[in-house]
Structure 1
């Protein structure tokens, strides 16, 4: 004789949406708070939870009991949170690289000079870094469409020139040229901002 839980799992495996809704309602809150344990941003935790349940639905035929479903939900949520945290760390590193790239002339000058003035310059640069990054992102949005896409794919998404060229169906030389022009434009914008 089948229990109510077994019947629910059977309906779920068959693709009955009301069975999925019942499983979702039973486990959503626990999975959401599990995600929040790793990811402090509530919206990101909600997104991860939703994606986890989408994956569960797609793989529904693989589950023959509630224990396997709970295990899947927890493992998938944990892995998604770890991926999200890794991506945030990677993105923070990319932001730092972008600022250094756009300010490399100033940085190389400061590196050659270990005077108190150089230390003060580094301190002030640190204070304005957040504001500068915001300004850089505003200026990126002002690039012509293709140049903006190429710049974002390269410097923000970390794609290689050949990958970008293949994705956009353009030559590698075009990618290199557009990146160079974008960097010159952004450096000029940063210098103008610093002088203002």
Structure 2
């Protein structure tokens, strides 16, 4: 039978499979304790046997190969499971820590502000300039008017128009609207 297996005879391979599958499967199942995983590992081991069939000189060598290979596959699976569980535990610890709450809040803030400023970039040039001078540089309407050599009322009108446009565009994103309103609240002096 070993000669036929080495020559690629599928019937010989089927015979080896029938003789040894159950023993290899039960051996694997002792390690991984999950039938589906044991079946997969056993099937992969037999597939590897087929690929390396030309290297075996006896049935003892085939048996030894199958047991060693499935054992190694089981260890690899268990190692992978442990690594996943460790990563999961680390992530849970990170999520439960107080610092992480601040970190994620900061990440949300950054993402929402990025969205708001992406919309600001789409504003007409003068309106955009006034909005940025107001909220990035913190200038008052009179300072903006002086810098741009326009009337204070024009600054106020452009700023109000920018806010209305942004509210309109961000209407479907309640979080972005909330941050925009917070931004406006912090600049309440600008409205007066």
Normalised to the residue count of structure 2, the TM-score between the two structures is 0.50
Per-residue deviation, 1:95: 0.5
Paired position in structure 2 for 1:64: 57
| Residue 32 (structure 1) aligned with residue 25 (structure 2) | yes
**Aligned-partner SS, 2:57:** coil
Aligned to 1:11: 4
5+ residue gaps in structure 1? 1-7, 110-196
CA contact (8 A) 1:100 1:107 kept: no
The Cα offsets for residues 93-112 of structure 1, whole Å up to 9 and x where unpaired, read as 01111222333326899xxx
Q: Does 1:51 align with 2:44?
A: yes
Paired residues for 1:5-154 under 5 Å:
8-105=1-98
Aligned residues: 102
1:48-103 per-residue CA deviation (whole Å, 9 max, x = no partner) reads 10010011000000001100000000100111111111111111001111222333
Matches of 2:24 and 2:18, distance apart in 1: 11
- Structure 2: tracts of 5 or more residues without a match: 103-192
Query: How far, CA to CA, are the matches of 1:46 and 1:23 in structure 2?
Result: 16
Does the Cα contact within 8 Å between 2:94 and 2:100 map onto a contact in 1?
Answer: no
Looking at structure 1, the residues matched to 100 and 27 of structure 2 have their Cα atoms a distance apart, in angstroms, of 43
Q: Partner of 2:8: helix, strand, or coil? A: coil
Query: In angstroms, what is the RMSD of aligned CA positions?
Result: 1.8
Alpha-carbon displacement from aligned partner over 1:107-156 (angstroms, at most 9, x marks no partner): 899xxxxxxxxxxxxxxxxxxxxxxxxxxxxxxxxxxxxxxxxxxxxxxx
Shift of 1:39: 1.1
Give the secondary structure class of the aligned counterpart of 1:15: coil
Point out the structure with max Rg over C-alpha: 2
Q: Distance in 2 between matches of 1:42 and 1:62?
A: 30
How many Å separate the matches in 1 of 2:100 and 2:33? 34
Question: TM-score if structure 1 supplies the norm length?
Answer: 0.49
